[in-house]
Structure formats: structure tokens, C-alpha cells
Amino acid sequence: MEKIFSYQQLYQFTHAIFTGIGCNNNDATTAAEALLAADLRGIDSHGIARLTGYVRLWEAKRINPLPQIKIVHETPSTATVDGDAGLGLVVAPFAMQVAIEKAKVAGTGWVSVRNSNHFGIAGYHAMMALPHDMIGIAMTNASALVAPTFSIERMLGTNPIAVAIPADKQPPFVADFATTTAANGKLELLQRKDAPAPLGWVQDKQGNPSTNANELKHGGTLLPLGSDREHGSHKGYALGSIVDIFSAVLSGGSYGPWVPPFPAYVPMPANMPGTGLGHFFGAMRIDAFRPASEFKEHMDNWISRFRNATPATGHDKVLIPGDPERETEAIRIAEGIPVVDSVVDELNVLGEKFGVML
């Protein structure tokens, strides 16, 4: 069961909690907007459902509520940012803004970030580029749940990639996806319903195919996009690896099996080779390649041609990346955001602790 809340209700609560852990007003605003973008866009696993988790990381002193976020190295088109253990929800918009400013001058901007934490949904940060007539790119590593092809060991996170591309009359193209067959949030939905997972999402701890949605609790692993070697899992493994390397080996963050875990009760890995999570951001000015108006007309043409591609039997239309999330956002702004009861209960406990009412 679930309750419906207006965006404003969730926003005020979230802002108050971030203020409660010691964020200043600006950072609490930035963090609440970034976090709730997930709930608006229907990616419920990454929104307010994680608020308690962020607070636990603060309690464990793994999140610094008043970070001094700094550019530690730069060139005309690049920067390396140290997030000072801040909320990824605050560090990421800072770094993406640096990429945008670089792009204004150099044509493109590329920022690798270390010493950060979970940043919510990648798509939100990539979309910051759109009002500037820029293409936005965002990615992050995450704690290890995924086994490389031919392995049973947790070596990579679900390491998402987002790419946002502006159009003219058409809405923008916004791809935002985990580099695994299915994101962990999808497994959590199945666990709640006690339903099996499709073959190809997880393997058991010996590496056998499994349909148990709870397999990760028994030492199993998520599978890279492609599921198995025959269906291209080496490509998903390569994509997840590229995200890991761009986000953390470039910046000096921690990578692979050494990425700090999101659950605060899980001990930090021993011998970490870098500090905190890593992210990677890019901004490319459209008119660094061709006039923006020309590009956006062609994007309109691209989008409408693909939207009108012949559908397969049983399907009425072909979707453009970003369509489902945009449709959900329109509905949720109008009708409110559903939050499942177990999350509402957790938020109420959190609210009591900080003297805030949901």
C-alpha cells in the first residue's frame, strides 16, 4: 500500500532533514531537488526512499554536511573535483556546473570527481546541460554488486550512464540507465511482491543462472547488461568498467570492489586505493560542432522518425529515451507522488528524530 504526497510536501520534509544533519540552506535546496527528481521521474528506488540511508551515512560520519568542494586540478576543458566527503547530491551539481562553465569557453567541459557519495539519479545532472544548448553526460561508480563475465565476485556497481541531448519542438532525448541487465531497484520491487526475477538478471554464488530475486542476500551477484557471454555480457562489463575508470581512476576516487558501500552498517573496504565514490561529468556545447538551431531541427527529425518507426505486433509505439520518465513526471506533478507504506514509516521515524512532520 502507498500514500500520495505533493511534491511540495516531500520537498519541505527533505529540505528540513538535510538542514537537520547540518547542511546550509543552499546545499539543502540543491540536495532536495536532486534527490526528489528521482521520485518525480518515477525512479522510486533512488529518491526519498534513500533519505534514511543518507542520514545513516551522516551518523556514521561518512558524509560531511558542510563540505569544502574544490577544484584540485584543471585545464581549459577539464577539472578534477574533490567533494570533501559531501553529499553526492550537492557535489554532483557543483561538478556539472564546472563542466558547463568550461564548455562555454573551450567548447566542451569534462570533470572527474573523487571523495563524493551517492548522487541520486544520473539523468538529473546530465539534464543540467540542456538549457545551455549543450549535451550533458553523467556517470558514477557505486558499491560492488556486479560480477564481470566469467566471474562470481562482486567487482562493479550498477554504474549508470546518463546522456541528455536537446531538441527544438520535441522534448529532449534523455537516456539514463544502469550498465547491468536490471537495476537493483527492480529486484527490490520483485522482493516486495515475492515474485521471481527473469533469468539473466542475477546468478547464484556459484555462478549458476537464478530466478531468485533475493539471490544477492545469499552471496549471488547482479549480471552486466547482456546477461551472459553469448548475449554480450562482456559489453555490459566493459561499459561498467569504463564508468568506474572515468569516475574514480581518473579522479583519485575508490574503484572496483573498494567503492564505499551505501548501507552505513556495511564496513568500509580495507586498503581503499582512493577516497570516496567517483563521478564523471561532461558538457558539450552544440554550437562547438554546428549551429544549435540546425542541430535541434535535425534532433526533432531524428526523434519523430524514430517515434514513428513501425511497431512490433502487440506494441503501439516506439519510445524515445526519456519518454516514460517525462510522462511520469507530468502525472506526478499534477496528481502527487505515491510513496509505499514501508518508506512512509521510515520517514516518520526520521521525522521524529529531527522534529519534522511529513
- Is residue 292 near a copy of itself by the rule CB under 8 A? no
Stretch that binds a copy of itself, among 20-28, 73-81, 93-101, 116-124 (CB under 8 A): 73-81
- Is residue 289 near a copy of itself by the rule CB under 8 A? yes
Q: In the set 31, 182, 264, 339, which binds a copy of itself (CB under 8 A)? A: 182
- Is residue 235 near a copy of itself by the rule CB under 8 A? yes
CB of 96 within 8 A of CB of 132?
no
- Is residue 145 near a copy of itself by the rule CB under 8 A? no
Q: In the set 19, 30, 80, 158, which binds a copy of itself (CB under 8 A)? A: 80
In whole angstroms, what is the distance from residue 138 CA to residue 88 CA? 12
In whole angstroms, what is the distance from residue 334 CA to residue 189 CA? 24
| Stretch (H or E) spanning 165 | strand 161-165
- Is residue 146 near a copy of itself by the rule CB under 8 A? no
Q: In the set 59, 192, 273, 348, which binds a copy of itself (CB under 8 A)? A: 273
The dihedral built from the CA positions of residue 324, 325, 330 and 334, taken in this order, carries a sign that is positive
φ, ψ dihedrals at 205, nearest 5°: -70, -15
Stretch that binds a copy of itself, among 51-59, 310-318, 325-333, 343-351 (CB under 8 A): 310-318
CB of 160 within 8 A of CB of 130?
no
- Least distance (Å) between residue 65 CB and a copy of itself: 27
Stretch that binds a copy of itself, among 13-21, 88-96, 101-109, 326-334 (CB under 8 A): 101-109
Q: In the set 99, 250, 277, 358, which binds a copy of itself (CB under 8 A)? A: 250
- Is residue 281 near a copy of itself by the rule CB under 8 A? no
Instruction: Report in angstroms the alpha-carbon separations of 166 from 96, 98, 205, 319.
Output: 16, 19, 43, 16
Q: Nearest to residue 187, comparing CAs of 160, 207, 217?
A: 217
Q: Nearest to residue 142, comparing CAs of 159, 124, 119, 122?
A: 159
Q: In the set 169, 306, 333, 353, which binds a copy of itself (CB under 8 A)? A: 306
